[in-house]
Structure 1
Amino acid sequence: MARRLRPVGLDFIEDAPIRLTFAARTAASPEAVYRALAEEVESWPHWFRAVTLARPTHGGSGREVRLMGGVRFQETIMAADPEQRYAYRVDETNAPGVRALLEEWRLTPADPGSGTHLRWTFAADGPALFRLALAGTRPGLGHSFRSAVRALDARLSAQR
């Protein structure tokens, strides 16, 4: 059964009790990466293996996301700054324990014409057991992120 989470603002990225941050580089331009993240939401399952469904809701101001294993999210887009940042807050989920969750993708141009630095921050709150469990997933989340960035890079390279 889906549960409503505590609504948080963008400042939660800095203030969350648990923050997991990962970084990678892609050869694609910030424009292409942003487009894949924010405008081509339905393409996420093609490059982010853990995602089985992603679709815009509420005229593009929200998203519905499903993950492998049956976890579901209803999200609100909190920031959509072209070629710079894409952030979303989870409003409803069937995942146990989580009280608040916000994710942010930061895009920074690499040296001129040489791609994009990506930084993904996963900011969350929940009871102590949830925090401990989430901290234990850091290696798996990092692997999932790096694999997704490689797949996204290959997908964007094939589109050029």
Structure 2
Amino acid sequence: MARRLRPVGLDFIETAPVRLVFAAEAAAPPEAVYQALAEEVTGWPRWFGAVTLARPTHGGAGREVRLMGGVRFLETVMAADPEQRYAYRVDETNAPGMRALLEEWRLTPAGSGTHVRWTFAADGPAPFRLALTAARPGLGHSFRSAVRTLDGLLTARRAAGQ
């Protein structure tokens, strides 16, 4: 059964009770990384292992995302700043315990590549917050693997001249 979450603004990234922040480097330039994140939403399952389906909704103002294990999210895109930031808020989910969730991807030029920072900002009751904090290593591994895979796909695309 899907549940509505508390709507939060972009400031939740800084004020959330649980903030998990991860970073990785990509050889691809920010414009290519941003395009994969924000404009090629249906491609997420090719590079983010936990994602089984991603599709834009509401003309690109929202997203539907499904994860392995059957977790579903209906999201609102909160920020889409080309080559800099992509953020979305979860409005509805079937995941237990969650009260609010906002994710932000920050892109910063790093030489000829991109420094990618992902912030996972969440709220829920104490057991949820504790479980999420305990999941930090797994989420970090998943994020770093996703960035490596995405970077490989973007490198292959550039080499093929696409």
TM-score by length of 2: 0.97
Map 1:102-141 → 2, pairs under 5 A: 102-111=102-111, 114-141=112-139
Match of 1:139, as an amino acid? P
Q: What is the Cα deviation at residue 87 of structure 1? A: 0.1
Tell me the alpha carbon deviations over residues 13-53 of structure 1, each in whole angstroms, 9 at most, x when there is no partner: 00000000000000000000000000000000000000000
Distance 1:155 1:49 in 2: 13
Query: Which residue of structure 2 aligns with residue 155 of structure 1?
Result: 153
2:37 partner SS = helix
Tell me the alpha carbon deviations over residues 104-124 of structure 1, each in whole angstroms, 9 at most, x when there is no partner: 00000002xx20000000000
Match of 1:129, as an amino acid? P
1:147 partner SS = helix
Percent identical residues = 84
Match of 1:18, as an amino acid? V
Distance 2:84 2:155 in 1: 20
- Structure 1, unaligned stretches of length 5 or more? none
Map 1:51-66 → 2, pairs under 5 A: 51-66=51-66
Distance 1:70 1:137 in 2: 18
Query: Which residue of structure 2 aligns with residue 2 of structure 1?
Result: 2
Distance 2:8 2:100 in 1: 7
Tell me the alpha carbon deviations over residues 54-83 of structure 1, each in whole angstroms, 9 at most, x when there is no partner: 000000000000000000000000000000
- Structure 2, unaligned stretches of length 5 or more? none
2:92 partner SS = strand
1:31 partner SS = helix
Q: What is the Cα deviation at residue 146 of structure 1? A: 0.3
Give the aligned CA root-mean-square deviation in angstroms. 0.3
Map 1:22-37 → 2, pairs under 5 A: 22-37=22-37
Distance 2:49 2:132 in 1: 19
Query: Which residue of structure 1 aligns with residue 49 of structure 2?
Result: 49
Distance 2:38 2:108 in 1: 15
Match of 2:138, as an amino acid? G
Q: What is the Cα deviation at residue 12 of structure 1? A: 0.0
Tell me whether 1:40 sits opposite 2:37 in the alignment: no
